[in-house]
A and B are shown apart, each in its own frame.
Chain A
Amino acid sequence: MKRVGLFLGCNIPLRRPDIEYSMRYLLKELGVEVVDLEGATCCPAFGVMPSVDLVGWCVASGWNMAIAEGKGLEVMVTGCGSCYGSLNEARYHMEKHPEIKEKVNEILGSVGMRYEGKVKVYNIYNYIYDFIGLEELKKAVRYSLNGLVCGVQVGCHNLWPSKAYPANDENTFQPKRLREICEALGGVAPWYSMMTDCCGMGALGSLARDKSWSLFKRKASKMIEEINPEVFVTGCSSCLLRFDNDQALMRKEGVIDFEVPAVHVAQLVALALGAEPEKAVGLAEVPVDKVVEKIRGGK
């Protein structure tokens, strides 16, 4: 049986646990054993340890990966782009610089832990793509998306820095994998011109909210103009906070006049595999009823 360590991070378990529910649900449905990483911390987020110290960052990420290795896991899976980026970048730095890894193990060793560098960190859609495969995914679908038009938002950290990642799109500036997953579920996921633009969530949002909102507004408006999606589908939980939670806030403040429901790809897969909507998308702020209706009304 396939086994993965579920790396939660911060936003998924504490702000949008409906994504956590969906990840657990879909992995189980696809025959994967989900192992909890007891005592795992924040990845660490780029604004904390990485902005303080390189070795400290590697210690912090090393802590999380050491917990997974301690359970004999070869793969960790995350739904958050920042976690995916931070853990893999730290991993990359330690691989390139054995002296950093040595220092990290000196520190972890003081509490009886050790980071070997064996565990690999995947994001959920690349895990599905590489370890399950589109054909198996298709077979597992209980409710087809029924032609639902998906506007995909891959997320920066899921693509770059490509040299640090265990799996990726062939051309990271023309990503296809997330679209192919939506299509395997029975949806339609057309290309649009601003596909790889940033949604503005993250450090920029904390430093200059309105400027960062303008990035979302521009991108979402363009998407609506070009492909008119029935749902936004994100590959990253931070992007979902922007496309759902912030979208609702922007509308309330009169910054935008559109309303398009948004889900994380794990939520979309979970719904297609038969998860209860109250749990899989139970915390969405922009109403998702139409999306659920279209999926549940399908075969």
Chain B
Amino acid sequence: MEKEVNVIKLDEEFMKEFWEELEAMGMPVKELRECIQCGRCAGTCPMALAGLEYFIKRIVHASMLGLKEIFLDDSSVWGCQSCNRCVEVCPMDIKPYELIQAIRRVCFREYAMPSNTIDGLRNYYERGHAVIVKGFEERRKKVGLPEMPPTVIGNEEMRKKFQEVMKQTALAEVAPFPLD
């Protein structure tokens, strides 16, 4: 007998996987369904103005369709400025920026992130600052400040404590480098 395949059901299964992942990362899909594709977010989004292919309105739509592959292939979500204009203007209170964060978290777990994200995270874990620009000691001296700022970068005891703390976060499971 010929095997019956329920295409619609298959589709739902396919969408569900991404939806569940998004929900686990902080963006319930039932909220996304409220999106009316009005385009207000896209009208203010710097990613759209700069010409990135997947700017926010398209990202919301693709997420509703469960199209995870798009985000694994296309790095647009990593160009989001975290500016929250979309959150401010969305008439349906979708919080599109929180969707971007959820997508990034899903992609992160598939190791689909730009290399500067990994570098930033490693700097952050190892020295407490995501951005460390060489030569800071001289620059500080030049403007009459002590060579070391009072942050964790020059504070061995606090740095160790900080790492103890970070080891208890999701980093323990998903950091793309050893935590020691």
Contacts and interface: CB of A to CB of B under 8 A. Distances in A.
B150 to A, nearest CB: 4
A48 B84 CA distance: 17
Interface in A143-189: 156-157, 160-162, 172
Main DSSP-derived SS at the B contact region: helix
B70 interface: no
Interface size class of B (residues with CB under 8 A): 35 or more
Contacts of A290: none
Nearest to A111: B161
Nearest to A199: B46
Contacts of B145: 17, 20-21
A83 to B, nearest CB: 11
A11 B158 CA distance: 20
Contacts of A157: 82-84
Contacts of B168: 59, 107, 110
Contact of A41 (B25, B47, B162): B162
Given A42-B129, A45-B120, A13 B140 contact: yes
A41 B129 contact: yes
Interface stretch (A209-217, A223-231, A247-255, A256-264): A209-217
Interface stretch (B10-18, B31-39, B48-56): B48-56
A8 B84 contact: no
B52 A160 contact: no
A82 interface: yes
16 contacts: A8-B150, A17-B139, A41-B152, A47-B116, A52-B108, A55-B170, A111-B165, A113-B165, A160-B83, A161-B84, A200-B46, A203-B82, A204-B47, A204-B50, A204-B79, A208-B52
Interface of B: 25-26, 46-47, 49-52, 75-76, 78-85, 87-88, 97, 101, 104-105, 108, 113-114, 116-117, 120-121, 124, 128-133, 136, 139-140, 142-145, 149-153, 155, 157-159, 161-162, 164-166, 168-171, 174
7 closest residue pairs by CB, A with B: A39-B158, A156-B83, A56-B169, A53-B170, A13-B149, A160-B84, A207-B79
Given A48-B130, A51-B105, A204-B81, 11 more contacts: A13-B149, A17-B143, A41-B124, A41-B129, A44-B130, A53-B174, A59-B169, A111-B164, A207-B79, A279-B143, A283-B143
